[in-house]
């Protein structure tokens, strides 16, 4: 069996099926796109059930060599670091497609772009060959450019081009680093090159080489996260993208950067990771505070949520370079939680935009009395994004802060202000949009959520609640792989992760 190959291929096959729909049958495209987006989720549920929680290595590994001399092959595998990012991708994609009913013009090309995007994202998270990884990393760029540039808002072409230029610059450095590693691994193995991740991980690189390569890889991934000050493409891309594009961009695509930092930077360049940890932690904290502070003053609710992503992913960067099990594991968990909560917020904003065709906060007021169910779901997701206890955002942020404090206490304390600021910008926005009397006549007849919209949002609400109340099954599968990365860092550098400030057994009813 080759479940990972099947997983990656299914969205592409679905895209071909959608592309084959005759022009005279446009009504088939939307339900067909939803239908073909569901089989990858079924495969992922089988993978999740088959996954061994205590195994720190790659599972379900597939390896087919394409070129012995060049060392390139179809190599796939999944571990605790990538598992839930794959799950997140397959959960969000059907919901994003189902939320795209308002896309009428160019619907076939739109749905094909969404499904090709899913193939690229899944390939990034399971590729164990650096060339294959890079190919998927770049494939993602094309459909996202089309989604923003063709189906976005007024300034869509500017936002799409800015997204491409930033990503292309990072990709150039990433490709140079991959080629250098592949040639070095080939020389060590007596071949021209080898791009097998496991061969590359076995290299004994000098400290100088590690530092240069760390910078090359980190620049590409920092742009994708994005890490301050490389963040300026993100608010424009989010604001101009169609609803589904924003959902996938925030929910999954940004996690390509945080995943890359853990998978490649920490694993392949352990000494450089220790050397540059302080700088990365500082950039993460600046992103937390800056993103939250700028979000407060945004007049556009979609742009507000976009800046909140910069803040939340700053927590992930902080946790990653705290170099502790709690920090890295909490960062991965928070990335999954962010995908659910921010994806839901973008869906909610898109549903409101479909009714009023504006995202300006001052165009609303008092609509909780008109759309009570919508207002309740929005408040729930705002609380989850702000880190309210018993919801998934709290588990992620609290675990990151616990894991960061022993290594960087000042940074952890400063990052805590981001939690406070998140409550400020989210609840203040909620107050202006939903509370008080209805201030605009156009808002008096707004329809509340319909059955399709509730069907899209209920799974996200349930997942946020379940992960907040009982995150242990997820953390149990993340932590062994994270521990293996830290053991490698300790063996290569002598750096010992400090003891956690608090041993937290989330969901188990014990604290010590």
What is the tens place of the pLDDT at every residue in 100-117? 988 888 899 999 999 999
Contact (Cβ atoms closer than 8 angstroms) between residue 470 and residue 507:
yes
Rg (Cα) of the chain, in Å, rounded?
22
CA atoms within 13 A on the CB side of 6: 12
- Give me the chain's average pLDDT, please: 91
| Tens digit of each residue's pLDDT (9 = 90 or more) over 37-94 | 999 999 999 999 999 998 899 999 998 888 777 788 899 999 999 999 999 999 999 9
Cβ atoms < 10 Å from Cβ of 173: 18
Q: Under DSSP, is residue 7 helix (H, G, I), strand (E, B) or coil?
A: helix
Q: What is the predicted pLDDT for the residue at 504?
A: 52
pLDDT at 189 over 80: no
Q: What's the whole-model pTM score?
A: 0.94
Q: What is the predicted pLDDT for the residue at 498?
A: 77
DSSP track, 429-473: HHHHHHSSS--SGGGTT-----HHHHHHHHHHHHHHHHHHH--HH
pLDDT at 442 over 90: no
Q: What is the predicted pLDDT for the residue at 497?
A: 74
Residue 506 pLDDT grade (very low, low, confident, very high; cuts 50, 70, 90): very low
Distance, CA of 16 to chain centre: 26
Q: What is the predicted pLDDT for the residue at 408?
A: 92
Element (H, E) at 398: helix 392-404
Residue 507 pLDDT grade (very low, low, confident, very high; cuts 50, 70, 90): very low
Residue 501 pLDDT grade (very low, low, confident, very high; cuts 50, 70, 90): low
- Residue among 375, 145, 390 at smallest CA distance from 249: 145
Q: Which of 187-191, 234-238, 482-486, 497-501 is least confident?
A: 497-501
Helix axes 29-37, 107-126, angle to 10 degrees: 10
Q: Measure the CA–CA gap between 236 and 255, rounded to whole angstroms.
A: 18
pLDDT at 274 over 90: yes
| Tens digit of each residue's pLDDT (9 = 90 or more) over 443-457 | 888 899 999 999 999
Q: Which of 194-203, 217-226, 393-402 is least confident?
A: 194-203
| Tens digit of each residue's pLDDT (9 = 90 or more) over 352-409 | 999 988 889 988 988 998 999 999 999 999 999 999 999 999 999 999 999 999 989 9
Q: Measure the CA–CA gap between 56 and 371, rounded to whole angstroms.
A: 47
Cα pseudo-dihedral 302, 305, 306, 310, rounded to 10: 170
Residue 1 pLDDT grade (very low, low, confident, very high; cuts 50, 70, 90): low
Mean pLDDT of 124-147: 94
Q: What is the predicted pLDDT for the residue at 287?
A: 94
C-alpha distances in angstroms, 194 versus 175, 179, 211? Answer: 14, 9, 21
Before 229, cis peptide (omega within 30)? yes
pLDDT at 199 over 60: yes
Token output for 490: 């300790």
- Residue among 237, 211, 243, 309 at smallest CA distance from 95: 243
Spatial CB neighbours of 348, under 8 Å, sequence gap ≥ 6: 374, 377, 378, 381, 457
Contact (Cβ atoms closer than 8 angstroms) between residue 390 and residue 461:
no
Give phi and psi for 237, each to the nearest 5.
-65, -45
Chain length of the chain: 512
Query: What percentage of the chain exceeds 70 in pLDDT?
Result: 97
Cα pseudo-dihedral 477, 95, 350, 85, rounded to 10: 20
Contact (Cβ atoms closer than 8 angstroms) between residue 84 and residue 44:
no
Where would I find the beta strands (DSSP E) of 240-343?
Answer: none
**H-only helix segments in 73-205:** 80-98, 107-126, 130-139, 141-151, 156-189, 197-201
């Amino acid at each position: 069996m080759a479940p990972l190959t099947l997983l990656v291929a299914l969205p592409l096959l679905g895209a071909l099926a959608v592309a084959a729909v005759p022009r005279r049958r446009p009504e088939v495209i939307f339900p067909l796109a939803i239908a073909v987006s569901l089989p990858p989720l079924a495969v992922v549920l089988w993978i999740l059930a088959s996954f061994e929680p205590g195994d720190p290595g790659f599972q379900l590994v597939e390896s087919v060599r394409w070129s012995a001399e060049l060392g390139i092959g179809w190599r796939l595998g999944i571990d605790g670091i990538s598992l839930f990012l794959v799950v997140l991708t397959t959960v969000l994609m059907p919901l994003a497609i189902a939320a795209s009913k308002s896309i009428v013009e160019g619907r076939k090309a739109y749905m094909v772009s969404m499904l090709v995007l899913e193939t690229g994202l899944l390939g990034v998270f399971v590729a164990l060959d650096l060339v294959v990884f890079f190919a998927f990393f770049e494939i993602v760029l094309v459909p996202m450019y089309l989604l923003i540039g063709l189906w976005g808002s007024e300034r869509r072409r500017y936002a799409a081009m800015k997204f491409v230029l930033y990503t292309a610059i990072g990709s150039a450095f990433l490709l140079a680093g991959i080629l250098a590693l592949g040639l070095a691994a080939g020389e060590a193995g007596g071949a021209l090159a080898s791009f097998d991740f496991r061969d590359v991980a076995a290299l004994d690189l000098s400290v100088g080489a590690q530092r240069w390569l760390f910078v090359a890889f980190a620049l590409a991934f920092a742009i994708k996260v994005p890490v301050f000050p490389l963040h300026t493409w993100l608010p424009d891309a989010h604001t101009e993208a169609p609803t589904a594009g924003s959902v996938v961009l925030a929910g999954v695509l940004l996690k390509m950067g945080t995943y890359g930092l853990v998978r490649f930077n920490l694993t392949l360049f352990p000494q450089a990771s220790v050397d540059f940890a302080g700088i990365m932690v500082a950039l993460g904290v600046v992103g937390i505070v800056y993103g939250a502070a700028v979000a407060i003053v945004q007049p556009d609710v979609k742009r507000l949520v976009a800046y909140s992503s910069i803040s939340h992913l700053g927590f992930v960067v902080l946790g990653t370079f705290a170099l502790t099990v709690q920090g890295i594991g909490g960062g991965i968990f928070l990335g999954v939680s962010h995908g659910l909560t921010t994806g839901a917020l973008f869906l909610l904003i898109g549903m409101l935009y479909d009714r009023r065709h504006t995202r300006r906060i001052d165009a609303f007021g008092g609509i909780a009395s008109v759309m009570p169910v919508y207002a309740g779901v929005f408040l729930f997701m705002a609380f989850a994004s702000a880190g309210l206890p018993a919801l998934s955002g709290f588990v992620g942020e609290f675990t990151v802060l616990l894991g960061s404090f022993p290594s960087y206490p000042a940074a952890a304390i400063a990052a805590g202000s981001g939690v406070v600021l998140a409550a400020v910008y989210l609840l203040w926005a909620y107050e202006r949009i939903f509370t008080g009397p209805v201030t605009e006549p156009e808002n008096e007849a707004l329809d509340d959520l319909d059955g399709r919209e509730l069907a899209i949002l209920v799974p996200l609400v349930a997942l946020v609640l379940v992960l907040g109340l009982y995150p242990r099954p997820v953390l149990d599968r993340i932590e062994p792989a994270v521990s293996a990365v830290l053991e490698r860092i300790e063996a290569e550098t002598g750096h010992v992760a400090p003891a956690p400030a608090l041993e937290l057994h989330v969901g188990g009813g014990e604290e010590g």
